[in-house]
Amino acid sequence: MKRIILIILVSAFSVQLFAQNNVDQVLTEVEKNNTTLVALRKSVDAEKIGNKTGIYLQNPEVEFNYLWGSPSVIGNRTDFSISQTFDFPTAYGFKNQISDLKNEQNELEYQKQLMDIRLKTSLICFDLIYANALQAEMTKRVEYARSIAKSYQVKFEKGETNILEYNKAQLNQLNATKELESIEIERNALLAELAGLNGGQAIDFTESVFQITELPVDFEQWYVLAEQKNPTFSWLQKEIEISQKQIGLSRAMSWPKLQTGYMSEKVVGQQFQGVTVGLSIPLWENKNKVKYAEANSQALESIAADNKIQFYNHLIALHTKAIALQKNVNEYRSSLIAFDSSELSKKALDQGEISLINYLVEFSLYYESINKLLELERNMNKTMAELKRYM
């Protein structure tokens, strides 16, 4: 018994490359099959096309008039004209730059959703590792509880023990069996949730050992990289750039629009033709648009600054929590190995030195400690997953 428990505990010290590859394989599959990402990818592609509309010249205008003369002796009149309206030239440059920035934002939105789904998948994987480890542990406990129950049944039939001890052994077996069933129910629910993220395709995830992950040594240096890879910050930076381009566009749209074209007029015995030039003076249409664009740019800069402060505080809190959890895990694991008295308790029970109830109390405390260690390892890995989601 002690050898089995030691293997469970000591194996956590080694870097589990298989565990890492297993989780990575799950993430790869989910990224490929997740229906939300598939739909979002199509939506992003559509939005990119949409951002490239409305940035070109206005449609040319063609006009044709055929007028009947009265009295008829004066003949009929035919008019034909074609014209093209132009915004101030710099406006087209700003429109194109804004559309490019919006397309980059669409990609960043996709990356953000991808990171969120990858994090959610990782958290489910860690819950599954925890459930798998508990399932393996509880399977051993059920087998051991059955052996005790069987042993006390034999003793009871021979008259070597009383009904109270017999009942305790049977209840111990019942409790262990039902706890194993509860773990299996939770595990199946997690597998179903994982399949949902994988586009409905089931994934057989059986890993039961938590990997060892390294905390960033220099938090400040690591944070700079995390900030650069945060799609939300990049999206906000693009939004600020868009607002600045919008200021330039609003100013360009405040300049007069030019209209040029060709026109001809025919009447009996006469024809007139030539160029036309027009000017649209924007006196009221764009009023306050420049002021709004400037105010919006300033607001976005404040929002970006606030997001960076909140992000920094959130990550440093996670980093502090991860350090504390890592310390607890290491201490707990070492203490569990040092204070393991499972074999001594078993010998004492077999030799009649302690009662069954005392033995069960001793083991329940030890089992609780193993469960607590697994829970700490799960919490540490989930904290690390959130901390390192941008790496």
Q: Using an 8 Å Cβ cutoff, are 294 and 338 in contact?
A: no
| DSSP 8-state secondary structure symbol assigned to residue 75 | -
Instruction: Give residues with Cβ within 8 angstroms of 227, minimum separation 6.
Output: 233, 308, 311, 312
Which pLDDT score is estimated for 82? 92
* Percentage above 90 pLDDT, the chain: 27
Q: What region does 85 belong to: left with phi over 0, alpha with psi -120 to 50, or beta?
A: beta
Name the domain count of the chain: 1
Across the chain, mean pLDDT equals 83
Q: What sign results for the dihedral spanned by CA atoms 320, 322, 323, 328?
A: positive
Q: Using an 8 Å Cβ cutoff, are 96 and 252 in contact?
A: no
Which pLDDT score is estimated for 16? 37
Q: Report the candidate in 168, 132, 78 with the shortest Cα–Cα distance to residue 361.
A: 168
Q: How many Cβ atoms from other residues are within 10 Å of residue 76's Cβ?
A: 13
Instruction: State the Rg of the chain over Cα.
Output: 37
Q: How many Cβ atoms from other residues are within 10 Å of residue 360's Cβ?
A: 21
Q: Using an 8 Å Cβ cutoff, are 218 and 316 in contact?
A: no
CATH of the domain at 264: 1.20.1600.10
Which pLDDT score is estimated for 352? 66
Name the more confident of 98 and 278: 98
Residue 79's alpha-carbon distances to 71, 260, 269, 276, in angstroms, are 19, 17, 14, 13
Q: Quick one: which H or E segment has residue 84?
A: strand 77-86
pLDDT digit string (tens) for 158-186? Answer: 887 788 888 888 888 898 899 999 999 99
* Percentage above 70 pLDDT, the chain: 87
Which pLDDT score is estimated for 46? 93
| Domain coverage including residue 372 | 2-387
Here the tokens at position 6 are 């030691």
Which pLDDT score is estimated for 339? 64
Which pLDDT score is estimated for 388? 81
Which pLDDT score is estimated for 20? 42
**What is the rounded CA–CA span in Å between residue 183 and residue 371?**
12
Q: What region does 82 belong to: left with phi over 0, alpha with psi -120 to 50, or beta?
A: beta
Which pLDDT score is estimated for 313? 92
**What's the whole-number mean pLDDT along residues 318-328?**
88
